Amino acid sequence: MRIAVLSDVHSNLIALDAVLAHAGPVDEVWHLGDIVGYGPDPDGVVARLAEVTAVGVRGNHDAAALGGAEIEHFNPEARAAMEWTRGAISDDTRAWLATLPERRMEGDMTLVHGSPRDPIWEYLTTASAARGSFAALTTAHGLNGHTHVPAAFTLEADRISLLQPRDGESLSFTGTRTLLNPGSVGQPRDGDPAASYLILDPERQVATWHRVPYDIGTVQAAMREVGLPPRLAARLNHGR
Ligand code: ZN
């Protein structure tokens, strides 16, 4: 079984299409929220995810796009992009985002945006946060996004390990518990501008991370055209 796991697409349809093309035929598409915000094409991204019958969860940007108070915590550029997003999205997009739960169980996996103990806001970046999240999980494993950095925490005999996976790297997690982060499709922040995602085989218990270059210049031109903050466009070049 091949499941494409995507997170933090952030209204970047060109990056999403590059990832879907790279993944090829998959059995399912799962997403970990932050579908919208930052980028120029929220309706296009939601339409594509609906077309591939993606299932997933709500991120802080998705909640803000629906009018949530999450916007109060955004930095000025994220806030400007969110105000644009709120005015730009269609009723269909709004309705699709409104169906997303904060958590979703698929077999022995829990899908969240932030972390299992704080699904909207917590950045899962440290061993102690991972330990708290394993304690909060009601399934063996978790899938999370939000940091925009690909990662895997594993718990084996009370020891937490962190994997920072490279392009093409696989993790076999049989006999351990794991929290898998696919990185960000639409706005990577680990210094590599290529879109990031993972392929999960839940039966063989293997995850494989992939990086996919895409046409960043066309996305930046679309961002300029709709008046999104220039720094949000510029950062796509650097993956920061
Ligand atoms: Zn995000």
The fraction of the chain above a pLDDT of 90, given in percent, is 100
How far apart are the CA of 88 and the centre of ligand 1, in A? Answer: 19
Answer yes or no: are the C-beta atoms of 36 and 186 closer than 8 Å.
Answer: no
pTM across the whole model: 0.97
pLDDT computed for residue 102 by the predictor: 98
Please give the pLDDT value at position 31: 98
Q: What is the rounded average pLDDT for all residues in the chain?
A: 97
User: Ligand 1 centre and the CA of 157: distance in Å?
Assistant: 32
CA of 127 to the centre of ligand 1 (A): 21
In whole angstroms, what is the distance from residue 174 CA to residue 185 CA?
26
Q: Distance (Å, rounded) from C-alpha 97 to C-alpha 90?
A: 11
What percent of the chain has pLDDT above 70?
100
pLDDT computed for residue 149 by the predictor: 98
Tokens of 70: 């999450």
Centre of ligand 1 from the C-alpha of residue 170, in Å: 23
Give 175 Cα–ligand 1 centroid separation in angstroms. Answer: 30
pLDDT tens figures, 112-168 = 999 999 999 999 999 999 999 999 999 999 999 999 999 999 999 999 999 999 999
- Domains in the chain with CATH codes: 3-237 (3.60.21.10)
Distances (CA, A) of 134 to 5, 29, 44, 158: 20, 24, 35, 11
**Position 194 confidence tier, pLDDT thresholds 50, 70, 90:** very high
In the chain, how long is the greatest CA-to-CA distance?
A: 53
The pLDDT of residue 97: 98
Distance CA 37, CA 10 (A): 5
Coil, helix or strand at residue 105: strand
Q: Which residues lie closer than 8 Å to 62 by C-beta, 6 or more apart?
A: 33, 34, 35, 36, 37, 97, 100
Mean pLDDT across 67-73: 93
Tokens of 4: 């494409």
Q: What per-residue string of b and e applies to 144-162 under the rule 16 or more CB within 10 Å gives b?
A: bbbbbbbbbbbbeeeebee
Output the pLDDT for position 118: 95
Whole-number Å distance, alpha carbon 34 to ligand 1 midpoint, is 5
pLDDT band at residue 7 using 50, 70 and 90 as cut-offs: very high
Q: How far is the CA of 240 from the centre of ligand 1 (A)?
A: 12
